[in-house]
Amino acid sequence: MSKLTVAILCGGTSPEHEVSMNSARNIYKAIDKAKYDVVVIGVSRSGQWLHLPEDEFMQLTSIESGNVGFPLMLLPGEERVIQYRPVHSPQSTVGSQQFPKIDVVFPIIHGPFGEDGTLQGLLALLGLPFVGPNTLGASVGMDKDFTKRLLRDAGILVAPWVMLRNHETPDYEAIAEQLGYPMFVKPANMGSSVGVSKAETIVQLKEAIDLAFKFDTKVLVEQGLKGREIETAVLGNIEDLRVSGVGEIVMEKGFYDYESKYLSPDAAKVVIPAENVSTTDVENIRETALRAFQVLGLEGLSRMDVFLLPDGRVFVNEPNTLPGFTNISMYPKLWMEAGMSYPELIDRLLTLAMERHERDGALQRTR
């Protein structure tokens, strides 16, 4: 069988650019090179698409336009991306290098313009199979307000919340009255805890809302839940879904913020499998995660994050439709625990992407 070409798509314009680069390098290393050729497409901080040769890619923690790589051009409907010679640097040798035909894309760009459906729409227009949810699933799964409304509608528990728009002046007293302290304030569309704060006083609430509005025009204020932070992994297309066991994020103090996720790894312990969770609770969590995945119209993969309360109730915090893929990330580690190696997981995700593309491509396009 001839080799397939995978394009890893990484970087992006969101604050999670570095997280993406880190995940992308791990995926690059794990892809079975006997089965797949790999090309890397880096999206710079300003949004330019660039072909990154392997040696350059491996060194990079951040992609700045103009410094690295070769600009790419997308051809909708032709299932391809080509390299071109930019007008502003006619001396470059760029145009001479052919960009291979892509068979499947692994987009590992987090946050807005990566995980929110925009990129998925672009890849769908290009006609390329890609890992992860389709446009609708990605946008719904990214927007914490829409996610919560759909889950609530399906009878799945979510933390009570108030949604704010930046053109309205919030009534802080009324919010505090309604939700009680502590509260968690977050931009509706972000990840990695960027812009998320815990508020225990009205002054903190105001500061937290101001901060969150720097990242989004829509902000959520949620009731703080006192429960264990449990995560589980869902894998598959809608007709064939699998759920892993459960892991736990154990915090020394505070909450799971950007710092504890990436900068001080000792602040948060990732425990897999989660300890001292009864079989009934594990089954409830897995069942809830599976239902939430289906309700949100997700496909491919998602890490599902829940809170397990002392009385056994399971509240869904959020799906992560393109979860972190660093070597310490929960999603791959949950599958390793279930007996699937990192390379096997990547292979499975690529296969699911191609199967879905084929399934959807078989739909009738004429009347």
* Pattern 304-343, ligand ADP, x by CB under 6 A: -x-----------xx-------------------------
Q: Which stretch binds ligand ADP (CB under 6 A): 50-58, 94-102, 187-195, 322-330?
A: 187-195
In the block, tokens 């491996």 appear at 58
Binding status of residue 191 toward ligand ADP by CB under 6 A: yes
Binding status of residue 190 toward ligand ADP by CB under 6 A: yes
Q: Tell me if 281 sits within 8 A of 227, measured CB to CB.
A: no
CA gap 55, 92 in Å, rounded:
18
Q: Which of 192, 244, 302, 317 is catalytic?
A: 192
Torsion sign, CA atoms 315, 317, 320, 325? negative
Per rule CB under 6 A, count of chain residues that contact ligand ADP: 18
Torsion sign, CA atoms 76, 81, 85, 87? positive
> Measured from the CB of residue 22, what is the shortest distance to ligand ADP in angstroms?
16
Q: Which stretch binds ligand ADP (CB under 6 A): 75-83, 189-197, 240-248, 294-302?
A: 189-197
Q: Which of 28, 134, 236, 262 is catalytic?
A: 262
Distances (CA, A) of 193 to 196, 234, 237: 5, 21, 28
Contacts of 99 (CB under 8 A, 6+ apart): 39, 51, 72, 80, 81, 82, 83
Task: Examine the residue annotation and report whether 229 is marked as an active-site residue of this protein.
Answer: no
> Measured from the CB of residue 225, what is the shortest distance to ligand ADP in angstroms?
4
Contacting ligand ADP within 214-233 (CB under 6 A): 222-225, 229
Task: Examine the residue annotation and report whether 318 is marked as an active-site residue of this protein.
Answer: yes
> Measured from the CB of residue 219, what is the shortest distance to ligand ADP in angstroms?
12
Binding status of residue 193 toward ligand ADP by CB under 6 A: yes
> Which residue, 57 or 256, has its beta carbon nearer to ligand ADP?
256
> Which residue, 305 or 347, has its beta carbon nearer to ligand ADP?
305
> Measured from the CB of residue 220, what is the shortest distance to ligand ADP in angstroms?
8
Q: What would the two tokens of residue 235 be?
A: 């894998």
Contacting ligand ADP within 104-163 (CB under 6 A): 159
Q: Which stretch binds ligand ADP (CB under 6 A): 97-105, 191-199, 210-218, 287-295?
A: 191-199
Alpha helices in 273-340, H assignment, sequence order: 279-295, 330-337
Contacting ligand ADP within 11-40 (CB under 6 A): none
Task: Examine the residue annotation and report whether 16 is marked as an active-site residue of this protein.
Answer: yes
Task: Examine the residue annotation and report whether 216 is marked as an active-site residue of this protein.
Answer: no
> Measured from the CB of residue 261, what is the shortest distance to ligand ADP in angstroms?
8
Q: How many CB atoms lie within 10 A of CB 182?
A: 17
The amino acid sitting at 360 is D
Q: Tell me if 131 sits within 8 A of 107, measured CB to CB.
A: yes
Q: Which of 115, 320, 342, 356 is catalytic?
A: 320
b/e 120-153 (16+ beta carbons within 10 angstroms → b): bebbbebebbbbbbbbebbbbbbbbbbbbebbee
CA gap 52, 194 in Å, rounded:
27
DSSP letter for 92, please.
S
Contacting ligand ADP within 254-273 (CB under 6 A): 255-256
In which element (H, E) is residue 22 found? helix 17-30
* Residues marked as catalytic: 16, 192, 262, 303, 305, 318, 320, 324
Task: List residues near ligand ADP by CB under 6 A.
Answer: 159, 184, 186, 190-193, 196, 222-225, 229, 255-256, 305, 317-318
